[in-house]
Amino acid sequence: MINRAILVGRLTRDPDLRYTASGAAVATFTVAVNRQFTNQQGEREADFINCVMWRKPAENFANFTHKGSLVGIDGRIQTRSYENQQGTRVYVTEVVAENFSLLESRAEADRYREQHGMTQNNYGNNAPSQNQASQFDSNPFGDSQSNNSFGGNTPANNGADNSADPFADNGQSIDISDDDLPF
């Protein structure tokens, strides 16, 4: 059986980070995902997908995302039901997010927020201090590599050192024998 959901979209609000009685972190959020086609008025519609994320990834997600953040979500679809206060059975379908990716730099996120009238500069419910934020330099995992793991001559590094890029054309020929090929 396969149950996999991959979403790319923008958060409709700041993630809601809470803790269970046992201390497990849980973040709930909604991702707006544009449809691939336009309606009769020529406007692009969106689907609003409810998501939930657990434990440490939930804390990281809440700390480094905010309303309008462009994110990639990888998870599974889950359905559940409960009885509300009026005694009515309520059915819920949501994506249980297992992994996420931040798909824009902090500067791009700030620019998006300015363009859409979101002036508050809030990086989640538990935003790091200014010293901590500069330590990460828009990378919540604190590693020294940029978000573009291939290096290369991209706008992100403007032709900087390509020594980390195994595919860079540095003028040397590549010595590959038939034994190196997997087929």
pLDDT digits (tens, 9 = 90+) for 12-49: 999 999 999 999 999 999 999 999 888 888 888 899 99
Give the model confidence (pLDDT) of 66-123 as tens digits. 888 899 999 999 999 999 999 999 999 999 999 999 888 777 777 777 777 765 544 4
Tell me if 67 sits within 8 A of 12, measured CB to CB. Answer: yes
Domains of the chain, earliest start first: 5-136 (2.40.50.140)
pTM of the model: 0.59
Identity at 168, one-letter amino acid code: A
Structure tokens at 163: 């020594």
**Residue 16, H or E segment:** strand 16-19
Per residue in 8-21, is it b (16+ CB within 10 Å) or e — as a string? ebbbeebbebeeee
- pLDDT confidence of 56, banded at 50, 70, 90? very high
